[in-house]
Structures are given as C-alpha cells and as structure tokens.
Amino acid sequence: MATERTLSIIKPDAVAKNAIGEIIARFEKAGLKVVAAKMLHLSDEKAGGFYAEHKERPFFKDLVGFMTSGPVVVQVLEGDNAIAKNRELMGATNPKEAAPGTIRADFAETIDANAVHGSDSAQSAEREINYFFGNDEICPR
C-alpha cells in the first residue's frame, strides 16, 4: 500500500463541541499519523479560496460563512492509503447518510456543519496541504 498524505480540517462546529481530541484519536487509532497541525480562524478570503471549486454552487456563501464562524484545526495526516482511509473515517457529507461509527455520524448535525473536511483525491491533497502548510511546517515521522 502507498504511503500518502491528506489534509484534514476539524471544522468550527466540532471545535466548539470540544471534540478535537476525540477526532484526532480516531485518526491515530486507524494508523494515521499527524505530521503537521495548527489552529486558525479562517478569513472569508482564505476559506473561499480553499473551497474555490464550489464557488458557483448555491451553498458556497453559507459554506464560507460556516467555515469562518469559529476556529478550525488543520492537520496533515500521513499513512497507508491516507486519503481514502480518512474519507472512510469521516463518513458521508450529509451526517444523516453517514455510516454508524463514522466521525460525521457521531459529531455532525447537518450537511453544513459536518465536523470535518478531508481531501478527496491525491491532486486535492497536494493542493490543500500546500494551501495551509509550508514544507518547513511538516514533520515526517
């Protein structure tokens, strides 16, 4: 299996619930390692640029409003099949459709406030990691 890196964001709703530790524990228990992490309060510009692919979608304004509503924790996770593994741990975008035991099933309330983000492909992972971290902020382990 290939060692990969993926970008994870613990979104404002999960930070507000004091669930940072429980969510990171799920990554670690699944064999993913945190190789970079920081807490940020995103600006409109930073959140909008991050979700630029959704710019024309009807939910874009609400998405940016939500992502800037409080602090987030941004991490780079590393491990075998990290991109798919993280998406599996997260569960479906809409928590009502997320499989039992997934992060979104357990911590998210709505499709807008859905607890976590995870890169959806190798290409997004590379873009998203570089969007938040310089090379000197990533600590290979």
List active site positions: 117
Instruction: State the Cα–Cα distance between residues 7 and 29, nearest whole angstrom.
Output: 17
Closer CB to ligand RTP, 39 or 139, in the complex: 39
Residue 8 is a binding residue for ligand RTP (CB under 6 A) = no
Q: Compute the distance between CA of residue 135 and CA of residue 100 in angstroms, rounded to an integer.
A: 36
Among 118, 125, 129, 132, binds ligand RTP (CB under 6 A): 118
- Neighbour-count burial for 51-67, b at 16+ CB within 10 Å, e otherwise: eeeeeeeeeeeebbebb
Binding residues for ligand RTP restricted to 82-101, rule: CB under 6 A: 93
- Using the contact rule CB under 6 A, the part of the chain among 37-45, 95-103, 111-119, 127-135 near ligand RTP is 111-119
Q: Which amino acid is at 113?
A: A
Count of residues of this chain found to bind Mg ion when the rule CB under 5 A is applied: 1
5 annotated as ligand-binding: no
The rounded distance, in Å, linking the Cα atoms of 16 and 32 is 24
Annotated binding site for ATP: 11, 59, 87, 93, 104, 114
Annotated binding site: 11, 59, 87, 93, 104, 114
